[in-house]
Structure 1
């Protein structure tokens, strides 16, 4: 998870989101904060032509480097994430569903987080 200030700075810049190999995934959309900690735990990413598709991605294993958000998952993994309403508040059930989906991409081998 990333601290509140870092992710908000990226949001203001309409930052690009980059995958584990430095490839551009899309453009940062909404930021979802954990109510208990105040840290961001998920963001949405606009994918495709003109950013028409908006998908959730976990910030587990994400980092900010040189003003860019780098996530631990490739575009294909993100594109197939559970589709939830990006304009609504994430419920505990929604977060659990996303956590389960993304945990499959980082569990096991060291390189598993780079799945596409």
Structure 2
């Protein structure tokens, strides 16, 4: 999770989202914050040639460096995340599904430095 102060930096980044090896994954979409803490815990990323595919990614292990968002998960891991409606809100159950997905190994393996 990125603290409340990072939300402004996320909004200003408004550009690329980069993976654990520095590769560009896609473009930053929406920011989802935990209502209890105010911390950003998930964002959506537009993938594909025209950004038509919008997927959720966890901000666990994420960093903002040089105005760029670097996430701890590769493109294939993000692409295979549970498909949720990015136009809505994330329920506790949605967050639980995403947390479980990003906590376990899956296609495109997901911790920094592996893929």
Q: TM-score, normalised by structure 1?
A: 0.89
- Structure that is richer in helix per residue: 1
d(CA) in 1 for partners of 2:12, 2:66: 15
How many residue pairs get matched?
112
Unaligned ranges ≥5, structure 2: none
1:100 and 2:100 correspond:
yes
2-structure distance, mates of 1:46, 1:28: 6
Give 1:13 deviation, angstroms.
Answer: 4.0
Is the Cα–Cα contact under 8 Å of residues 9 and 64 in structure 2 kept in the other structure? no
Render the CA deviation track for 1:62-100: whole Å, top value 9, x for unaligned: 011111100000000000000000010100000000000
Aligned residue for 2:43, secondary structure, equals strand
TM-score calculated relative to the size of structure 2: 0.89
Q: How big is the alpha-carbon RMSD for the aligned residues of Structure 1 and Structure 2? A: 1.8
